[in-house]
Amino acid sequence: MGNHLYDALTAGAVARPDSVFAETPDGQMTCLADLTQGAARIAARLIALGVTPGDRVMVQVEKSVTALQLYLGTVMAGAVFVPLNTGYTGAEVDYFISNAKPRVFVCDPNRLAELSEIAASAGCVQIETLDKHGKGNLTAGLDDLPPLAAPVARDPQNLAAILYTSGTTGRSKGAMLSHEALLSNSRTLAEIWRFTEADVLIHALPIYHTHGLFVATNVALLSGASTIFLPGFDQDAILEAMPRATTMMGVPTFYTRLLADPRLTRERAAHMRLFISGSAPLLAETHRDWEDRTGHRILERYGMTETNMNTSNPYEGERRAGTVGFPLPDVELRIMDEEGAEVAQGEIGVIEVRGPNVFSGYWEMPEKTAEELRPDGWFITGDLGRIDAEGYVTIVGRAKDLIISGGFNVYPKEVESLIDDLPGVLESAVVGVPHPDFGEAVAAIIVADGSTDLTEAAVITGISKSLAKFKQPKRVIFLNALPRNTMGKVQKAMLRTEYSDLFT
């Protein structure tokens, strides 16, 4: 038995070892042979550190080719890769380490002092470092270490990764993703989006998120495409890369910011064949403006941490603005009412999906798994949607109040709990409101108790050390009372409507 995911992702290195996989802004080229050789050395290092099959390797590091090798090396060693958003604070990391109980935790050297004590207190005694240049304790002397000769055997249903997601209440949940869930989805996407060895992908997404890691990276590896591997969104670098690239994957923020640059023209985008958007809703206006400016119609798709990708607008055929297209070829999708019955065509209900892409459950949360993953494999997404007569799926909202800002999930309860603890706050409600750059922005509506002079700046400063930047409110509104229904529940839908033009 081989290693299901690793063998597939690295097959190209055997067939085309000298093919360039990544070109970085400093001009460094990494061929497939070098990529996999580095991964095999990191796999050997992890095993030397005591990692055994099924152990978790938790990673909070900046984007680099070496960080990708760490991902591949973890899978090769038979372990479970657990990436964390680099914006998470120490308090947030404490929860993740305590929950996942990783054998090894890899962080940026600049945060070692802060995070080592947290990791040790949570029972993770093996802490390594890796910076944005690929340097750190993890890679020290790596070139002298013999690479792992063969990947550790893993079957399709073994876990390959845990990605932490969030809901509107409670703490983050670790979505368990098997080798087959990741591989089947990436193969499907590579096929329907027509990726080949001739493609050059502008890779400006983070690699701690399913979009940048399991969509962009895996699709490029499986198809033999090369990447222009950027540390993050860099407007100048993306525009410079377009004349020699063929594809780009991004979040709506990428497209709105590029549209504001007069250098974006049809001539500059003429060599591109495909622009893909996801992780947050793309405004119909952005669709139209992009097509007018470049001659290209953005392909929007829909996915979740728990399921990878579920739907996609067609490569050939109408890419319909405001929709997320059709279910992928190996994914079933249905719209259900509150009683668990399928709704009539065109009616709104909760989206459920089933397929090889769906996760295996939430790590150490069997009750939460039972709530959201039916015994017959249907996953209750919590998203509200409808299917039109032609089969296009439209997302119309969320059954819960999850906020997606810049492609990242924010659950209001976490933010509200911190705000409510501040001096002078009686109660708060956190909602997502439309934002031209981030898709949605976090807004906090607060009722003060009158005990102190509470200001917007004081609220944001008061919670900043406990929350990643993307979770922090971009605006704070003060009201005398929160709107409630007859049952006393805060009417967040009313607040979203009231402040829908806050950033317009």
- The domain limits of the chain are 4-155, 403-498
Report how far Cα 482 is from the mean position of its chain's Cα atoms.
32
Helices (H), 383-455: 412-420
Percent of the chain at pLDDT > 70 equals 97
Q: What is the pLDDT of residue 334?
A: 98
| Greater pLDDT, 105 or 437 | 105
- What average pLDDT does this structure show over 60-69? 98
- What average pLDDT does this structure show over 393-409? 82
270-292: pLDDT as tens digits: 999 999 998 877 878 889 999 99
- The order of strands in the sheet holding 247-250 is 29-31, 20-23, 226-229, 200-203, 247-250, 274-277, 299-304, 308-312, 326-327
Sign of the C-alpha dihedral, residues 480, 486, 490, 495?
A: negative
320-342: pLDDT as tens digits: 998 999 999 999 999 999 888 99
Q: What is the pLDDT of residue 169?
A: 45
Instruction: Give me the CATH code for the 403-498 domain, please.
Output: 3.30.300.30
Count other Cβ atoms within 10 Å, centred on residue 472. 20
Count other Cβ atoms within 10 Å, centred on residue 149. 8
Q: Given pLDDT bands bounded at 50, 70 and 90, which one contains residue 487?
A: very low
Helix (H, G, I), strand (E, B) or coil at 221: helix
Which residues 6+ apart lie within 8 Å of 228 measured at CB?
23, 200, 201, 202, 203, 237, 241, 245
pTM of the model: 0.86
Residue 401 has pLDDT above 90, yes or no: no
Q: What is the pLDDT of residue 413?
A: 79
Q: What is the pLDDT of residue 167?
A: 44
Instruction: Give me the CATH code for the 4-155 domain, please.
Output: 3.40.50.12780
Residue 495 has pLDDT above 70, yes or no: yes
| Greater pLDDT, 490 or 406 | 406
CB-based contact 311:327 (threshold 8 Å): yes
Supply the Cα-derived Rg of the chain in whole angstroms: 23
Q: Given pLDDT bands bounded at 50, 70 and 90, which one contains residue 412?
A: confident
Tell me the pLDDT of the chain averaged across its residues. Answer: 93
Percent of the chain at pLDDT > 90 equals 81
48-62: pLDDT as tens digits: 999 999 999 999 999
Q: Which residues pair with 273 in a beta bridge?
A: none
Q: Given pLDDT bands bounded at 50, 70 and 90, which one contains residue 241?
A: very high
What φ, ψ does residue 265 adopt, rounded to 5°? -135, 170
